[in-house]
C-alpha cells in the first residue's frame, strides 16, 4: 500500500480520531496512489496512524477509514460500517420505518458514521445517496450493492451534485445509480405526508435534519398565526397546520419548492386551513411586513447556508442578524421565534450571540426556551465536531 508520511508533530488530530489529513500536514508520499485509493498514514517516525482514502485534488488530502492496522479496507469493511449505521437508527427508534407515520430516515451521515463523504437518505423504498469524497466514489459500486442488500430498497438515486465536489476534483452526478428508482417518493413524517423530489429537490430531496424540530413546533403551533420563512416544500408549514395553527404564511424564493408545498397541502387535506404561499425574497418581504405592521404569533427562520467557509462568517452573521431582528419585530407579545442556522462555520455560541444582538436592537427582551440541533439520525462524532452543523433557538417574546 502507498504511504502518506506526516510532518513531525502533525499526528495529534489523527490520534484523537479526527478523520481528516490536511495537505499541509503531509511531508511525503511513498508511491503514486490513485484518487480514492487506500493509503497508509504514518507519523514522521514511520508509525502506523490510520488507513485512509487518498484525495489528490482536495485540501483534505486523505480521509480516514480505520485506525486499526489489522482492519482491511474491503467489501466486508463497508458491510460492517453500513450495518452499524443501520443498527444505530434501529437503536434510536428511527428504524424500522412506520408506514403512514415515519417513512424516511438518514441512514448514513458521512464522517459521523465512519464513512467520510458518504450521505445516504432513505425515502420510503428509494435511497438517495451523495458520494462527496474521492474515497466514497472509489467504492461506489461496492457501497451501492451493500446498501441494496442491507435495506429492502428497490434502487438508489445518486445526488452527487453538491458544491463540495469541485473541491474534491469530482464531477457532479445527478442520475439513477442502481435498481428501480422513483425520482419522486411519498414519505410520512409525524404522520404528515410529503412528496419528495429526489431528482431535483435540494440536497438529497428533503431536510430530514429538521424532523425532531418540526415535532417541537407542532406541539407549540396550536391557535397561533404562523409565518414560515424559507419554507422549501412546506416542512414546518405542514407541521404547524397539523399542530392546529390558525393560519400559516410561508415564504420561499423557489417556485418549484412552493408548487410541491401546495401539493403537500392537498395530499394532507389541509386546504381549508387559512394559508398564504408567497414566492419572494425573505429579506425584502420581512421589511414589507414590518412597514405594513403585520405581526405573527410564531415565526420560523430556516435559511440556507449563509457561510460555506470561515471567510464568509462575518457576512453571514450580518444576514442572520438582519432576519432575526426583523422577525423579532414582527413577533407579537408571547410569540415564539424558531431560528435556525445550518452554516458549519457559525457555531452555537456565535449563533446565540447574533440572535442576542438582534434581540437587543429590537428591544424585545426575549428568552431562550430551547436549544435545538439536528435530528438523532444525523449523529455527531465527538471527534468530529464539524458534523454538528444545524443549530436552532426557540425564543419567546415576553407578554
Q: Which of 54, 77, 131, 230 binds ligand SAH (CB under 6 A)?
A: 230
Smallest distance from the beta carbon of 340 to ligand SAH, in angstroms? 8
* Residue (39 or 300) nearer to ligand SAH, CB: 300
For residues 32 to 71, the per-residue mask of contacts with ligand SAH, x marking binding by CB under 6 A and - elsewhere, is: ----------------------------------------
Q: Which is nearer to ligand SAH, 55 or 339 (CB)?
A: 339
Report, in Å, the least distance between residue 29 CB and ligand SAH. Answer: 40
The DSSP H or E segment spanning 324 is helix 313-330
- In angstroms, the Cα distances linking 341 to 149, 303, 304, 352, 373 are 36, 7, 8, 10, 10
Select from 107-115, 130-138, 139-147, 245-253 the region that touches ligand SAH (CB under 6 A).
Answer: 245-253
Q: With CA atoms as reference, report the closest residue to 13 among 50, 57, 39.
A: 50
C-alpha angle 121-124-102 in degrees, rounded to nearest 5: 90
Is 264 one of the binding residues for ligand SAH (CB under 6 A)? no
Of residues 269-288, those binding ligand SAH (CB under 6 A): 281-283
**Candidate list 66, 142, 254, 352; residue touching ligand SAH; CB under 6 A:** 254
**CB atoms inside a 10 Å sphere around CB 114:** 22
DSSP 293: T
- Is 153 annotated in the active site? no
Count residues contacting ligand SAH (CB under 6 A)? 18
* Smallest separation, CB 273 to ligand SAH (Å): 18
Instruction: Give the C-alpha separation, 188 to 334, whole Å.
Output: 31
**CB-based burial label for 190 (10 Å; 0-12, 13-18, 19+):** middle
- Rounded CA-CA distance 166/65 in Å is 22
| Of 153, 229, 231, 342, catalytic | 342
Q: Which of 20, 102, 131, 207 binds ligand SAH (CB under 6 A)?
A: 207
- Ranked by CB distance to ligand SAH, the top (closest) residue is 235
- Of 254 and 347, which has the nearer Cβ to ligand SAH? 254
Under 8 Å between Cβ of 221 and 243? yes
Query: Which CB atom, from 15 or from 281, has the smaller least distance to ligand SAH?
Result: 281
Q: Contact region for ligand SAH (CB under 6 A) — 39-47, 129-137, 301-309, 387-395?
A: 301-309
For residues 199 and 182, what is the distance between their CA atoms, to the nearest angstrom? 9
Among 13, 150, 182, 253, binds ligand SAH (CB under 6 A): 253
In our burial notation (b when 16+ CB lie closer than 10 A, e otherwise), range 29-61 reads: beeebebbbbbbbbbeeeeebbbbbbbbebebb
For position 318 contacting ligand SAH by CB under 6 A, the verdict is no
87 to each of 146, 172, 378, how far by Cα in Å?
15, 30, 14
Report the residue from 103, 210, 268, 364 that binds ligand SAH according to the rule CB under 6 A: 210
Q: Which is nearer to ligand SAH, 214 or 396 (CB)?
A: 214
Among 54, 77, 232, 320, binds ligand SAH (CB under 6 A): 232
Nearer to ligand SAH, 40 or 187 (CB): 187
The per-residue DSSP string of 86-144 comes to: HHHHHHTT--S-BTTTB-EEEEEEGGGGT-TTEEEEEETTEEEEEE-SHHHHHTHHHHH
Size of the chain in residues? 399
Query: Measured between alpha carbons, how far is 187 from 196 in angstroms, rounded to an integer?
Result: 7
Binding site for ligand SAH (CB under 6 A): 207, 210, 230, 232-233, 235-236, 251-254, 257, 281-283, 302-304
* Residues annotated as catalytic (active site), given as ranges: 342
Amino acid at each position: 500500500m502507498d504511504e502518506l508520511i506526516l510532518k513531525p508533530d502533525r499526528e495529534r488530530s489523527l490520534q484523537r480520531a479526527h478523520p481528516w489529513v490536511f495537505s499541509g500536514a503531509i511531508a511525503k508520499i511513498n508511491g503514486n496512489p490513485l484518487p480514492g485509493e487506500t493509503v497508509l498514514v504514518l507519523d514522521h517516525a514511520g508509525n502506523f496512524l490510520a488507513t485512509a482514502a487518498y484525495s489528490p485534488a482536495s485540501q483534505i488530502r486523505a480521509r480516514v477509514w480505520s485506525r486499526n492496522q489489522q482492519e482491511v479496507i474491503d467489501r466486508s469493511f463497508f458491510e460492517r460500517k453500513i450495518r452499524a449505521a443501520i443498527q444505530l437508527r434501529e437503536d434510536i427508534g428511527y428504524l424500522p420505518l412506520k408506514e403512514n407515520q415515519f417513512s424516511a430516515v438518514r441512514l448514513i451521515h458521512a464522517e459521523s458514521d465512519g464513512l467520510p463523504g458518504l450521505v445516504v437518505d432513505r425515502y420510503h423504498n428509494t435511497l438517495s445517496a451523495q458520494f462527496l469524497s474521492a474515497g466514497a466514489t472509489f467504492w461506489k459500486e461496492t457501497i451501492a450493492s451493500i446498501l441494496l442488500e442491507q435495506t429492502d430498497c428497490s434502487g438508489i438515486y445518486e445526488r452527487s451534485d453538491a458544491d463540495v465536489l469541485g473541491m474534491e476534483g469530482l464531477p457532479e452526478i445527478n442520475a439513477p445509480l442502481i435498481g428501480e428508482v422513483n425520482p419522486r417518493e411519498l414519505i410520512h413524517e409525524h404522520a404528515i405526508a410529503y412528496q419528495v423530489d429526489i431528482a431535483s429537490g435540494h440536497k438529497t430531496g428533503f431536510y430530514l435534519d429538521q424532523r425532531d424540530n418540526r415535532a417541537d413546533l407542532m406541539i407549540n403551533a396550536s391557535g397561533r398565526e404562523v409565518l414560515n420563512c424559507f419554507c422549501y416544500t412546506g416542512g414546518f408549514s405542514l407541521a404547524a397546520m397539523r399542530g392546529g395553527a390558525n393560519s400559516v404564511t410561508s415564504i420561499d424564493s423557489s417556485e418549484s419548492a412552493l408548487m410541491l408545498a401546495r401539493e403537500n397541502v392537498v395530499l394532507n387535506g389541509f386546504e381549508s386551513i387559512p394559508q398564504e404561499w408567497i414566492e419572494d425574497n425573505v429579506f425584502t418581504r420581512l421589511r414589507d411586513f414590518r412597514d405594513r405592521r403585520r405581526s405573527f404569533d410564531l415565526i420560523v427562520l430556516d435559511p440556507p447556508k449563509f457561510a460555506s467557509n470561515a471567510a464568509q462568517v462575518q457576512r453571514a452573521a450580518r444576514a442572520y442578524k438582519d432576519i432575526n431582528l426583523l422577525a423579532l419585530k414582527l413577533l407579537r407579545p408571547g410569540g415564539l421565534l424558531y431560528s435556525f442556522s445550518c452554516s458549519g462555520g457559525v457555531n452555537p455560541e456565535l449563533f446565540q450571540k447574533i440572535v442576542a444582538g438582534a434581540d437587543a436592537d429590537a428591544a424585545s427582551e426575549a428568552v431562550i426556551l430551547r436549544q435545538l440541533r439536528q435530528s438523532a439520525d444525523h449523529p455527531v462524532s465527538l471527534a468530529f465536531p464539524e458534523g454538528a452543523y444545524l443549530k436552532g433557538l426557540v425564543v419567546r417574546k415576553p407578554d
